Amino acid sequence: MSAPSASVGLMVDPGLSRRTALAIANDLRHDLEQHIDAATNWSIDVSDETLPLTADGDIALMDRAAELRERHEGDYIVYLTELPRYQRRKPLLCEVSDAQAAALVSLTSLGALGLRRKTRGVLLAVIETMVGGLDRIDLGEQVRSTVRVRGAKQVNTRTRNDTVDVILTGAGSQMRLLSGMVRSNRPGSMLPAMSAAVTAAVATGAFGISYGSIWNLSEALSPTRHLMIGAVVMCALSSWLIYRNGLWNRASARMHPWRSGLDNITTIIMVTTSVVLMYLLVATVLFCVSLAVIDASYLEAEIGRTVSLADYAWLSWLSASLGAMAGALGSNFDSNEQIRAATFSKREWERRKLDRDAWPNAD
């Protein structure tokens, strides 16, 4: 007699959710055999299928659970998403229904560190709950014991009687959600979309290097002053990109004022990270250009002392500051839509577009 089998259809959003699911699928299957039923042959089927967002920016998995189980020929359906979700103004980690044999897990609520380990533990907890039944298992306790995430609390969902939610409480939950949002949005991914700004910055900075007045100015400035100039330029360029491309989420502030703070902090981190990377890239290119173009003896004669690589580095840093300001003008030639989409994950960008569509004058 053959052993019984059970299958889990693991649906994933593209990006971080997909990579995480593929990395833990085999280990999760072993976890299911060890902790739920060793006599059952468990299988995990990872599929790149995304459900559309509802009008209020959520995913209605439970309404389609039966259809999805039939289509995937799975005993259980688990949807892994990068969409930040909330319940009672708290980060919503997962939504589980044993009657529907379905669960929806928000990856961002787990934070940026130890993501694979935590995701594996949460998936084990929700599947074990669906198998054992909500009437016998406290899912919040399961998450706390399996994943060691403090503040996990099971609450009744607001929309269905056969479903429970697990929210994260405590001071650290918001910071964990923020770090998860930043990781899923891929810091620095905006840089390729800023190609016009990078090109303008390098061209302007390289042109400025050839002037002796820049050499003398760089010599006159202290390292602290150089760093302050760079910081001011990066802040100015970050602010300009956020304003110019409509990345500030005023629409969310009108509909969900408690959520807009996290949205906009995430935006600041994402844009600033890309600007810092752009600045370092421009400074590195200009450093190489300065070494190739400016002879050391000529530079020594100009500033009146022996020069070192540090002098070339500070000269490149100052030229990068001037070039980055020109890069802000160059960013006008980039596609607003391209920059917006590159700043956020696919799901986060879809939700923000829904916010703006609901409040067309919010920008």
pLDDT tens readout for residues 163-208: 899 999 887 888 888 898 888 877 777 777 777 778 888 888 888 7
Q: Tell whether 99 and 166 lie within a shared domain.
A: yes
Alpha carbon distance 239, 250 (integer Å): 15
pLDDT at 102 over 90: yes
Question: 169 and 194 share a domain?
Answer: no
Same domain as 73, residue 199:
no
Of the ranges 18-27, 83-92, 142-151, the best mean pLDDT one: 18-27
Residue 174 to residue 144: CA distance in whole angstroms: 17
Residues 294 and 338 in one domain: yes
Residues 347 and 315 in one domain: yes
Which residues form the domain of 41?
Answer: 5-180
Do the beta carbons of residue 166 and residue 142 sit within 8 Å?
no
Length of the chain: 363
**Vertex 130 angle, CA 129 and 132, to 5°:** 60
Question: Considering the domain boundaries, does residue 18 fall inside one?
Answer: yes
Phi, psi for 154 (deg, rounded to 5)? -85, 130
**Residues 328 and 195 occupy one common structural domain:** yes
Per-residue pLDDT reduced to its tens digit, 306-321: 888 988 999 999 999 8
Residue finishing a domain among 138, 155, 180: 180
Domain boundary among 180, 213, 229: 180
Instruction: Render pLDDT for 18-31 as a digit per residue (tens, 0 to 9).
Output: 999 999 999 999 99
- Looking at the fold, whether 213 and 307 belong to one and the same domain comes out as yes
Assess whether 161 and 258 both reside in one domain. no
Q: CA end-to-end span of the chain, whole Å? A: 65
Q: Stretch 116-140: mean pLDDT, rounded?
A: 90
Q: Do 117 and 142 belong to one domain?
A: yes
Helix (H) or strand (E) holding 143: helix 139-147
Instruction: Establish if 320 belongs to a structural domain.
Output: yes
pTM, two decimals, is 0.81
Q: Residue 162, by phi and psi: left (phi above 0), alpha (psi -120 to 50) or beta? A: alpha
Q: 158 in a domain, yes or no?
A: yes
With respect to residue 352, please indicate whether it lies within any of the assigned structural domains: yes
Q: Is the pLDDT of residue 355 over 70?
A: no
Does residue 354 lie in a domain region?
yes
- Residue at a domain's end among 154, 180, 206: 180
Asked, for residue 363, whether it belongs to a domain, the answer is: no
Q: What is the mean pLDDT of the chain?
A: 83
CATH classification of the domain holding 125? 3.40.390
* β-sheet bridge partners, residue 41: 5
- pLDDT level of residue 362 (50, 70, 90 thresholds): very low
Q: Is 255 in the same domain as 115?
A: no
- Both 71 and 142 in a single domain? yes
Are 162 and 226 part of one and the same domain?
no
* Rounded Cα–Cα distance for residues 59 and 50 (Å): 9
Residue 349 maps to a domain: yes
Residue 23 in domain: yes
How many domains are there within the chain?
A: 2
